[in-house]
Every structure is written in C-alpha cells, then in structure tokens.
Amino acid sequence: MKLYGFFRSSAAFRTRIALNLKGLSYDQAPINLRANEQRGGDYLKVNAMGIVPTLIDGEVAIGQSLAIVEYLDETHPQPPLLPKLPADRARVRAIAMDIACEIHPVNNLRIRRYLLHELGQDERALELWMNHWTKLGFDGIEPMLADDKRTGDFCHGDTPSIADICLVPGVFNARIYPSFDMTPYPNIRRIFDNCMKLDAFQRALPERQPDAV
C-alpha cells in the first residue's frame, strides 16, 4: 500500500495511526501542502479534491481519512477499530466526526491561509479563531467522555478506536498555540497520554515522517 500524505496533515496522521495499529506496512508519498503540491496537476489525478491523504491499495484509490480507516477496518478486521454493537459504533464514529467534521476542517491550513490572505486577518486573529473552534469542540467531547461508562483507557473501552485516531491529531492541533488551555479536559488529556504510550501512535508522529522538516 502507498499513502500520499504530509507530515503535518492531521488527516494523514490519522491514517498513519490506523495503518500502524493494523500492523500494515506502507510506502509514503509526501505531498508538500506548504508548497501547494496538492493542487499540482499530477496529484489531482490521484485525488481530484486536491487534499491529503490518499491511500492506494492495488487498483483502489481512497481519499478522506475516515473512509480510509473504515476501509482498513473492513479489509483487515484485526485488531478492530470499531466496537461491535451499532450503538457503540455510532458513539465512536460520532466522537471521531466531532473532531473530523467540526474542529479540523475549520482550522486547517487552507482556511488559515484564506483568513490571512483573502480576509486580511493577522496572526492574533488566527490564534483566536483556532482556539475558539477547538474549545467549542473539546467542550463537547470532554463531557461525552466523562459522563459515559463506556469510556475506558481510551475513548471507548480499553483499546484504541477510530475516535482515538482522530483525538490524538486533534490534541496536537489544539497545542499549536500555547494560549489554548487544556486544563478543562482531563479525560481528553488522559486518553491522549494513553495513546502516546503505544508504538502505533508514536511511529505516526509528524516529526518521525520522512518528509518532516
């Protein structure tokens, strides 16, 4: 398998964690988002949306990190990244999407660039923007973890799931600005720390990727 990604992309980060948890080996094809390589002609043939990551598995090309993780879970069921019961699967997917659909899309590089260049905002406005959306999201996720007996060492039970795969890159993004206060989120912090004890998460870290600068 081959993964088109970028060391700093939090969506690519998710898929690296999933591949590692599944024990799958893969080649990396770096797409430098800072140099706009995702909009270059060649990569648009791989991913018409011009976003990373894209997973190539033989003839199959898949964009969208959560579609990739679900695909990996269906094609390589062990260890499972989703629980068995529909209600539990829905809980895990909802936590994952609270990050992947509410926080991350609003705070990613292309949005920050638009705010800076098209809307003439400054770095301070960017910082307030990012912290605002992260806080709204974490303020929702923390009680979902705190108030549900299904929360364990990880977001759901004692093994990592799609929710943790999204949570860890989400915490990395939250920490971009030291002004973001993580103290109101003891469960998020605890689960993040548990994830970071695992080799699958460690090996997926941005700074450990071949394109890290």
Closest approach of a second copy to the CB of residue 23, in Å? 18
Q: Is 188 in the site for a second copy (CB under 8 A)?
A: no
Q: Is 66 in the site for a second copy (CB under 8 A)?
A: yes
DSSP-assigned beta bridge partners for residue 4: 29, 54
| 94 versus 212: smaller Cβ distance to a second copy | 94
Q: Is 144 in the site for a second copy (CB under 8 A)?
A: yes
Q: Is 128 in the site for a second copy (CB under 8 A)?
A: yes
Please state, in angstroms and rounded to a whole number, the distance separating the CA atoms of residues 134 and 126: 12
Fill in the DSSP letter of residue 151. Answer: B
User: Which of positions 74-103 make contact with a second copy (CB under 8 A)?
Assistant: 74-75, 86-87, 89-91, 93-94, 97-98, 100-102
Q: Is 174 in the site for a second copy (CB under 8 A)?
A: no
Q: Which backbone phi and psi does 78 adopt, to 5 degrees?
A: -110, 135
The helix or strand, by DSSP H or E, that contains position 63, with its residue range, turns out to be strand 60-63
Helix (H, G, I), strand (E, B) or coil at 100: helix
Burial 160-172 (b: 16+ CB within 10 A, else e): bbbbbbbbbbbbe
Residues found near a second copy in the complex (CB under 8 A)? 47-51, 57, 60, 62-64, 66-68, 70-71, 74-75, 86-87, 89-91, 93-94, 97-98, 100-102, 104-106, 111, 114-115, 118-119, 121, 125, 128-129, 132, 136-137, 139-144, 147
